[in-house]
Amino acid sequence: MLQRLTEVQEFDLAVDGLEAERAQVPQELTDLAERVKSLEARTSRKDLEVAELRRKVEANEQELKAMSERRKSASDSALRAASAKEASQYQNQELQMAARAQELEEDTLPLMQALEDASAEADALHAELDGLLPTLGEMQQAEVERVAGLDARIVDTRKLRDALAVSVDAPLLKQYEQVRRSRKGLGVVQIVDNAKCGGCNVKLPLHVVQKVRSGAGITRCSNCGRILMTPPPAPAA
């Protein structure tokens, strides 16, 4: 019965190994995904910077256009003025608007240069991102297929395990499963060196070893609680 239980445990350990393998995302995929995530964040920030600069440039250009129209209106009004005083007032307005227009032009030129530079940087970031996304997509698809393959193997292995487990006494199987959960995988272990628990390596009392060898009932290690069994006999030469 214990030999059958060790066969169940082999399937359980195989499932553990497959699940551990499933959880190990390839480092190249993790690295590339992090790189793309960082690049997407940088691209988003740069796009916002470009949008803000464009907004400022367009606002200045609109104000310059409006200022030009008002200057022309003031100039035309000065020509049609009914008196020298009225003409002087319109001329003063035109001069003030000309000064403001010059300020706007001086402010707009560096903004336009900054917009050009930021747009070039944004284009470069988008190009880099576009170059990485297909590779990331391929790697993610490969990962989906890898995980699906492992999931299928896990299902098949569990079916084999369950088919074998029905031949083990229910109380013994329950003990084994409880110990296995608490002891990181191993619920039944062999006695090693004729005197030690194969799970925790603690030396066993002689009467415990003798009881295990006699096959009289189920014996568990008093230290780790694992079910003990003797090693199978060596094959004949």
Is the domain of 110 the same as that of 32? Answer: yes
Q: Is residue 134 part of a domain?
A: yes
Residue 17 lies in a domain: no
Say if residue 79 is in the same domain as residue 176: no
* 32 and 106 together in one domain: yes
Task: Name the token pair of 163.
Answer: 């088919």
Of 148, 179, 209, the last residue of a domain is: 148
User: Can you give the residue range of the structural domain that contains 94?
Assistant: 24-148
For position 76, what pLDDT does the model report?
Answer: 67
What integer pLDDT is reported at residue 86 of this predicted model? Answer: 77
Q: Judge whether 61 lies within some domain.
A: yes
pLDDT of residue 74: 67
CB 5, CB 168: distance < 8 Å = yes
What pLDDT shows up at residue 105?
Answer: 86
Q: Is residue 7 part of a domain?
A: no
Of 118, 148, 178, which closes a domain? 148
Q: Are residues 137 and 36 in the same domain?
A: yes
Task: Tell me, yes or no, whether 139 and 210 share the same domain.
Answer: no
- The residues pairing with 22 across neighbouring beta strands, listed in sequence order, are none
Q: Do 71 and 31 lie in a common domain?
A: yes
Residue 77 φ then ψ, to 5°: -65, -35
In terms of Cβ atoms closer than 10 Å to its own Cβ (0-12, 13-18, 19+), residue 225 is middle
The CB density around residue 185, as the number of other CB atoms within 10 Å, is 12
DSSP class per residue in 101-165: HHHHHHHHHHHHHHHHHHHHHHHHHHHHHHHHHHHHHHHHHHHHHHHHHHHHHHHHHHHHHHHHH
Q: Do 55 and 122 fall into the same domain?
A: yes
pLDDT digits (tens), the chain, 237 positions: 788 999 999 999 999 999 999 999 999 999 999 999 999 999 999 999 999 999 999 998 888 887 777 777 767 676 777 787 877 776 777 677 777 878 888 889 999 999 999 999 999 999 999 999 999 999 999 999 999 999 999 999 999 999 999 999 999 999 999 999 988 789 999 999 989 999 999 999 999 999 999 888 899 999 999 999 988 776 555
Residue 51 lies in a domain: yes
State the pLDDT at residue 30. Answer: 97
pLDDT confidence of residue 234: 62
Q: What is the pLDDT of residue 100?
A: 80
When divided into structural domains, the chain yields a total of: 2
Residue 3 lies in a domain: no
Residue 53 belongs to some domain of the structure? yes
Residues 120 and 178 in one domain: no
Shared domain check, 144 and 29 = yes
Whether 142 and 199 share a structural domain: no
183 and 110 in a common domain = no
Q: Are residues 185 and 120 in the same domain?
A: no
Domain-located, residue 14: no
pLDDT given at position 236:
55
CA 6 to CA 35: how far, in whole Å? Answer: 45
Q: Do 231 and 191 form a contact (C-beta atoms < 8 A)? A: yes
Amino acid 136: pLDDT: 98
